[in-house]
Chains A and B, each alone.
Chain A
Amino acid sequence: MSEPVVVIRDLHKEFRRDAIRIPVLSGMNLEMAEGDFLSLMGPSGSGKSTLLNLIAGLDKPTSGTVIVVGEDLSDLTEGELAQWRSRYIGFVFQLYNLIPVLTAYENVELPLTLTGLSRRERDQQVKTALDVVGLADRMDHFPRQLSGGQEQRVAIARAIATDPTLLVADEPTGDLDAQSAGEILDLMQRLNSEFGKTIIMVTHDPHAAERASRQLHLEKGVLVDDVSVTATNQEQP
């Protein structure tokens, strides 16, 4: 069996507001295998986004270990973390976070500029990524010329363009109508099943969570439920 993509041991995270310490994650343990599609559910303030940020190397734990793609993140400096993220992590945000002055093509190309690939190789990867999300014909469009669902698909293309090991998605359907949300979830499921991408997704939406192969429930910083879903459940649209 291959090494887990995510290993979390006794993870604590607390925030400070002046002199007050607010614990967000308390002693969490978690493992995530390669090819997992994991959804993180829980009420607001339960710590799911914090957990996602820690796994993605955007934040540092107060204590405990976060090992992602074989790398103990607490050992990395700020600069090394940035490089690590560009190589192993693909981000999908709730509000898409596309750069408004760049076209769909340029937005997808953005993370590739950090890889040292030649222009031709970048071009190939951008087109492949846009093809996967079904927006090859919109590559010259600016974000404002696209619908919300299309913007999110461009954002997904950006996330997969560098072929990262782990995709992290923070409420990817939170700002979309039901139909667009369904399309985005279809796409994510496809990325998981067809392309073998390991995905971790934070969501409020139980229907979205059901698309994942494994559902985690957090409450007050503690993992209260860990359910693996059968393949049949996942197939539903």
Chain B
Amino acid sequence: MTVLGTGLVVWAMVLTFGLTDGLEHALRISGHPLDIIVLRKGATDETGSSITPQQAQELATLDGVARNANGEPMCSAEFVTILTKPRRNNGGTTNMIVRGVETIGRDLRPDFEIVQGRDLRPGLNEAITSASMASRFENLSLGEKLEINRVDFEIVGFFEAGGSAAESEVWTDIRDLASARRTPDAVTTVNLRVSDESAEQSLIATIQDDKQFNLKAIEETQYYEDQMTSAIAIKFVGYVIALFLTIGAMFAAANTMYAAVANRSREIGTLRALGFRRRSILFSFLFESVLICVLGGVLGCLATLPFNGLTTGTANWATFSEITFSFRFGPTVLMRGVLIALLTGLVGGLFPAIRAVRMQIVNSLREQ
């Protein structure tokens, strides 16, 4: 029973840890250390920002902007809009991020790769997204059409971007999207990569200090870090639940060990009569308790493995849209689960073990 109880607790906790770890990972890898996000001054996220195409072009010419293999500046003007779309399986509607990008935008995402179908062709109202988005939203499967302001965008491919936040988006060509939204030439964000770390701060300063620009530039890593509110919220709730579950499991372990001590009083008395010391008996009971709980913990961890990589989603409270991510049960998460089981065994077993060794030998020997 204790093995099962501890296993369940560890299972639930590892799931929570895996969830927050996955979300944090998705947001963390979304930010490239050399990337800068440029928004209108006063905007807190991409959807509330607006930049003119001229400004975007000027940004590309600034010193310190990196260039790709073709010598093009790695500066991507993007148009981000939010649509409310139905989830699959009658899951109601939720916000979805649609991003209009230029070709260069792909170079600014980690490990961008088309994994199914093909990339979109500009001017043809085509769109690409990730397989996980397709599984969560209606009309996002290959060949299906996503309606944006009564204009249909055909899904022609699925991409991956290293598990980053880009995988929670639908991408189209920036001009096709702006035209469908009837806001021609609209740019919300400029995403650019600096040539090296030393150039980063000076470029940020150049953009911020230019009164004509009236723009703000933030490091991409910082931008995504600010969006981790939901991860922190889940983590907090997770830790509170974990705490209570662990306390519960400790009581279960203590109960089992108290019963073990009661059932084995005579054995304990015999061992002590034979000359075994109190501490040997204390350690043996603690060891037993820890063993039972760690066994449960390992089983609990194993039971989470089917969820590894499973995609789920949560609201991104910065953009009020859905962010999809995968459960991640790395060694740290699993180790944390086993550690909690170990702690459960130690604390749960401690008081019964102390009770076992505090009994008078003569009294223990009298027990039936």
Contact = CB atoms under 8 A, between A and B. Distances in A.
A180 interface: no
B367 to A, nearest CB: 10
Contacts of A86: 274-276
A229 interface: no
Contacts of B360: 59
B365 to A, nearest CB: 7
B181 interface: no
Interface stretch (A31-39, A76-84, A124-132, A199-207): A76-84
Interface stretch (A92-100, A181-189, A209-217): A92-100
B147 to A, nearest CB: 70
Per DSSP, chain A at the interface is helix
Nearest to A168: B273
Interface centre among A82, A84, A87, A110 (most CB of B within 10 A): A82
A56 interface: yes
B359 to A, nearest CB: 12
B276 A114 contact: yes
Nearest to B279: A79
B113 interface: no
B275 A114 contact: yes
Contacts of A84: 275
Interface in B265-315: 266-267, 269-278
Contacts of A85: 273-275
A198 B17 CA distance: 64
A53 interface: yes
Given A59-B362, A93-B365, A82 B275 contact: yes
B161 to A, nearest CB: 57
A97 B270 contact: yes
Interface string B335-368: 0000000000000000000000000111001000
A163 to B, nearest CB: 14
A117 interface: no
A58 interface: yes
B362 A97 contact: no
Interface string B253-274: 0000000000000110111111
A87 B365 contact: no
A82 B362 contact: no
Contacts of B267: 97, 99
Nearest to B361: A58
A111 B362 contact: no
A209 B107 CA distance: 97
Per DSSP, chain B at the interface is helix
Interface residues of B, number: 16
Contacts of B270: 91, 93, 97, 99
Contacts of A79: 277-278
A83 B362 contact: no
Q: Chain A: interface residue count, which band?
A: 20 to 34
A53 B269 CA distance: 12
A110 B362 CA distance: 20
Contacts of B269: 97
Interface in A194-235: none
Contacts of A78: 278
B275 A83 contact: yes
A87 B277 contact: no
Interface centre among B270, B272, B275, B362 (most CB of A within 10 A): B275
Nearest to A78: B278
Contact of A97 (B266, B276, B277, B278): B266
B366 to A, nearest CB: 9
Nearest to B368: A95
B278 A87 contact: no
Contacts of B272: 82
Nearest to B274: A111
B273 A58 contact: yes
B207 to A, nearest CB: 74
A91 B269 CA distance: 12
B274 A114 contact: yes
A158 B276 CA distance: 14
A110 B274 contact: yes
A45 to B, nearest CB: 14
A91 B273 contact: yes
Contacts of B277: 79, 82
A56 B273 contact: yes
18 contacts: A53-B362, A58-B361, A59-B360, A82-B276, A84-B275, A85-B274, A85-B275, A86-B274, A91-B274, A95-B266, A97-B266, A97-B267, A97-B270, A97-B365, A99-B267, A99-B270, A110-B274, A111-B275
Given A56-B273, A58-B361, A97-B267, 10 more contacts: A58-B365, A79-B278, A85-B274, A91-B273, A91-B274, A93-B270, A97-B266, A97-B365, A110-B274, A114-B274
The 6 closest A-B pairs by CB, nearest first: A86-B275, A97-B270, A85-B275, A111-B274, A58-B361, A82-B275
